Structure 1
Amino acid sequence: MDTPTTSTLWSLRPVGEHAALRRVAQGAGFRLRVLPLQRLVARADAARLAAALTAPIRLYTSPAAVRFAATQAGGDLRRAGIDLAVGSGTAAALRCAGVGDARSPTRMDSEGVLAMAELQVLAGTAVGVITAPGGRGVLVPAIRERGAEVRVAEVYRRANLRGGARRLAEFRDDAGAVLLASSAEAFARLEAALPDAASARGRALRARPMVVSSPRLATLAARAGFLRVLIADGPTPAALVAAASRVAPVQ
């Protein structure tokens, strides 16, 4: 196997969603490149969003969910009740949207969210989930099973981009590349775009180390044939870059 001689992080985040990750990567001495497989597109449904925002408990599943909801709600998401975020990045986005007391778990995944005290006794309580199609798919069924009335507002979706073959080839040929993945949807798009694992190109791509944000993503990566998978402490740029620093040199 070739020895890493560069320090390039390759991100699966959608186009336009890399500003914070780029700052952290550059601050740690890495270069950042993007595999342009998806972009985010607004899904406007004023009635569903209004219903979710008037629930006494609201759960936002990503910073993008906050941004799209804020745009559709006139820029300010402050409402009576409790606002929950899946992680610190989503909580920060809520603060930018006027919500100063958003709560987030220490463990920034579905299991961490479901362990929050605010989601333990839910019988007869409405919970608004502001998300995207397929976003945090474990959460809605689990919250509903606890007796809550779940009001889902899908405020954006991931649109697949055509092409990407050239960037995939560049990723394959980058001896020091590390792939960053924090979304099952983005990873599924990558897997669909990869050459067959039995081919030389497919093996070369899967030989690159991958940093993922959760054990669930690690399982998906292993099933897809990736051989060097490292689980970060969470989906934040800082956590992903810190994990990458353990497998890639900084020049």
Structure 2
Amino acid sequence: MTSMADHTIPTGWTLISLRPQGQHAGLRRAAAKLGGATVALSPWRLQRLQGPAVEQRLNRALACARVVFTSPAAVEAAAALQQLPAAQRSPWLTVGEGTARALHAQGISEVHAPQRMDSEGLLGLPVLAEVRGMDIGLVTAPGGRGLIAAQLEAAGARILRADVYQRLPLVVPRRKLSRLAHSGTPWLLAVSSGEALQRLWQQLSPGWQQRLRTDAIVLAASARLAEQAQALGLLRVVRSEGPTVAQMAAAAHAALTAPAAT
């Protein structure tokens, strides 16, 4: 992480976190080290799925020629249902570094993760170069990572999906928006999920949407997310190398030390 002794960083700025409820601690610590506060605007909370049908779908997915885990939450939910090391019979893949770490923590040795930590990076991995006629397991949650399944199916693969957790929508409390209204600027909006950004945006009044357009700098974890933010009128965008806390902290440092941020 960038040295915290950089005195060009303004004080009193605010990080807006869209991570799931209860998963803001890493970003909050990173923001504090850079002299910022954090306002958490979780659009959902995560809930593990259980039951015989869930276990059956997971077992079928894990037996495929390739298995893709889309998030650390997917790994943790699957591990609660199945001993993962005993289930690995083929290469397992992840979208990013955090998910790969979660699999390693469960005792999985063979993990393929792209350097570009998004759906497009995953689809570019050599182990997915020739997938026609192949069964690919997708361990995920309803509504997430649709690009992966769609492009693999378009390439001729058969997707066996195992939804092992779900995202339960949350209403953003007015008190959180009130706190943000009185928080220091610039506001840095950390975006690692397009669905999270969309769910937040749909809850905001036109006045709040305009305020974010005016006061927020988006930290976008991929080019696709940057384009999505810009389509909403959030034109001040800084690209992060990926969605991890360290990568978002580096993007925050870049945004805060740019001439327009001071």
TM-score, with structure 1 as normaliser: 0.89
Paired residues of 1:77 and 1:97 also in contact (CA < 8 A): no
Per the alignment, residue 57 of structure 1 pairs with: 66
Paired residues of 1:78 and 1:98 also in contact (CA < 8 A): no
Paired residues of 2:57 and 2:161 also in contact (CA < 8 A): yes
Paired residues of 1:212 and 1:230 also in contact (CA < 8 A): yes
**Could you tell which deviates more after superposition, 94-103 or 159-168?**
159-168
Please tell me the residue identity of whatever aligns with 2:253. S
| Aligned partner of 2:200 among 155, 172, 190 | 190
Aligned: 1:238 with 2:246: yes
Please tell me the residue identity of whatever aligns with 1:48. R
Aligned: 1:34 with 2:44: no
Going by fraction, where is helix more abundant, 1 or 2?
2
Paired residues of 1:5 and 1:176 also in contact (CA < 8 A): no
Aligned: 1:16 with 2:16: no
Per the alignment, residue 206 of structure 1 pairs with: 213
Per the alignment, residue 234 of structure 2 pairs with: 226
The CA distance in 1 between the partners of 2:85 and 2:25, in whole Å, is 22
Number of equivalences:
244
The CA distance in 2 between the partners of 1:100 and 1:133, in whole Å, is 27
Deviation sequence 1:145-197 (CA, Å, 0-9, x none): 2222211111112111124222123223322321111111111111111111x
TM-score, with structure 2 as normaliser: 0.85
Paired residues of 2:11 and 2:35 also in contact (CA < 8 A): no
Structure 1 residues 72, 22: closer, same or farther in 2, change over 3 A?
farther
The CA distance in 1 between the partners of 2:28 and 2:83, in whole Å, is 28
**Could you tell which deviates more after superposition, 66-75 or 51-60?**
66-75
Runs of at least 4 residues off by over 6 Å: none
Gaps in structure 2 of 5+ consecutive residues: 1-9, 258-262
Please tell me the residue identity of whatever aligns with 2:224. R
Per the alignment, residue 260 of structure 2 pairs with: none
Please tell me the residue identity of whatever aligns with 2:104. R
| Aligned partner of 2:177 among 168, 172, 188 | 168
Structure 1 residues 163, 139: closer, same or farther in 2, change over 3 A?
closer
Per the alignment, residue 5 of structure 2 pairs with: none
SS in 2 for 1:89: helix
Aligned: 1:47 with 2:84: no
Alignment of 1:72-221 (within 5 A): 72-74=81-83, 76=85, 78-174=87-183, 175-196=185-206, 199=207, 201-207=208-214, 208-221=216-229
The CA distance in 2 between the partners of 1:110 and 1:41, in whole Å, is 23
Please tell me the residue identity of whatever aligns with 2:240. A
**Could you tell which deviates more after superposition, 76-85 or 142-151?**
76-85
**Could you tell which deviates more after superposition, 8-17 or 158-167?**
158-167
SS in 2 for 1:108: coil
Structure 1 residues 41, 98: closer, same or farther in 2, change over 3 A?
same
| RMSD between aligned residues | 2.1
Gaps in structure 1 of 5+ consecutive residues: none
Structure 1 residues 235, 77: closer, same or farther in 2, change over 3 A?
farther
Q: What percent of counterpart residues are identical?
A: 38
Paired residues of 1:8 and 1:32 also in contact (CA < 8 A): yes
* Cα shift at 1:5: 4.5
The CA distance in 2 between the partners of 1:139 and 1:66, in whole Å, is 17
SS in 2 for 1:230: strand
**Could you tell which deviates more after superposition, 9-18 or 19-28?**
19-28
